Amino acid sequence: MLFSGALFFLLFLILGFMFMVVTVAFFKRKRWPDAYEPFVSVIIPAFNEEKTIGPCLEALRESHYPRDKVEIILVDDGSTDGTVDIAEKFGGIKVAKQHHGGKVAALNLGLSEAKSEIIITIDSDVKVERNFIKNIVRPFSDSKVGAVSGAAKAANDNKMLTSFQAIEYVYHSLVMDSFSAVFGTSFWFWGAVASYRKESLDRAGGFSSSTSSEDLDMVVNIKKAGYKTLSVGNAAGRTFVPSSVKSLFRQRIRWWKGTLQMMRKNRGMFRPSQGMTLMFFFFSQMFWIIFSFLAIPLITYQVFYWLPYNMASASDLFLYLFRWFNITGPLYALYMIPEWGINPLSIFGILSGVMSLVMMIFAFAFFREKITVRKALGIFFYFPYTLLMNVMIMAGALEYALNRGKGTFIK
């Protein structure tokens, strides 16, 4: 009980710190100069993306940014479908081709073809919002800024699994934007909607395939080169999220494996002199990895520990279990404090649940996202999704520990 109490206390501290940063950021967001409109090169790596490349390019064409200041480079990574044909029909799109060498090679080829000092990289299934280019380049008016991440939103909301991810994406985008606003730096990064100063990329050695998270690795390398890295919530793009548990597992195993590879590669960077944001990033990522191995056993233990001995019927048992796995649980426990008293273990769990709920709702308001019936259900039953995320984090950590990323659990 003492161990689980300490673990949930750390969870409360992490979420409490995030909640504080999100609150402070509401009063501290910086306004960048509206008149800053540099020439930009947009690099889109693509491999067999004929279903999504058209909407991706159309969204760029509809951007509220001078068209004569935008160079679009599609890097075809050896596609065997109609990806290149669709791009060429748009006209004005520069197409660079390579044999199938992977995303990192495609990004570096696009970088070598780019004419602008400001580089934007987006995935081929992303539809950027109309103010995306305008808002993501403005921080580069500060010559010390080397990289800027936009906000990612889910493009598909046709299943409960995608709705959970839609909530997760805006939640994390809010945290990224808030840390950037408060501390003037960010190390969480959406590579699907990112921008860089070409000089900072060159000094960082270009994109590297040494980890499975080339965007996160690049951010740390740019920091090493002496530049600031930021996140801006008003530059958003919608990306298609995995619609099956299997594809989601593959994605998250790759993400967490890459995070661990990056942290090991750059372990010398994680010290107080590098700033609060980087230290918090390191501490929180390590905490989630440790927590992922313990969460389900601890939750199972707590479910049985708090199970009332005088259950009168099956419906009482159902209501007890039902409250455990939706947002009414912490709210009910908060309501029952006068009767139950304050237990350190329960109070940390209650406050963590309430803070997460508030930040989710605030994220939807901040990004002006509609809360559909399915998303409302996703918020209500978000706790089971966090358990699934813990399993995926654990799988990514195990893959890294067992084979350093050679192979995967899910084919």
What residues of the chain score a pLDDT lower than 50? 405, 407-411
| Per-residue model confidence as pLDDT tens digits over 304-344 | 877 776 666 788 888 888 888 888 887 777 777 777 666 66
pLDDT at residue 404, rounded to an integer: 61
- Report how far residue 344's alpha carbon sits from residue 349's, in angstroms, rounded to the nearest whole number: 9
pLDDT at residue 19, rounded to an integer: 95
Domains and CATH numbers, the chain: 2-23+278-403 (no CATH), 31-243 (3.90.550.10)
Q: Hey, is 96 helix, strand or coil?
A: strand
The answer to whether the pTM exceeds 0.75 is: yes
3-state helix, strand, coil in the chain (%, to 5): 60, 15, 30
pLDDT at residue 3, rounded to an integer: 64
Q: Indicate the DSSP class of residue 202.
A: H
Q: Please name the residues in contact with 360: beta carbons below 8 A apart, sequence gap of 6 or more.
A: 167, 171, 379, 382
DSSP 3-44: HHHHHHHHHHHHHHHHHHHHHHHTTTPPPPPTT----EEEEE
pLDDT at residue 411, rounded to an integer: 39
- Report how far residue 9's alpha carbon sits from residue 344's, in angstroms, rounded to the nearest whole number: 8
pLDDT at residue 343, rounded to an integer: 67
pLDDT at residue 85, rounded to an integer: 94
- Tell which residue, 149, 216, 159, has the closest CA to residue 179: 149
- Report how far residue 150's alpha carbon sits from residue 364's, in angstroms, rounded to the nearest whole number: 16
- Report how far residue 57's alpha carbon sits from residue 393's, in angstroms, rounded to the nearest whole number: 34
Alpha carbons within 13 angstroms on the beta-carbon side of residue 47 total 12
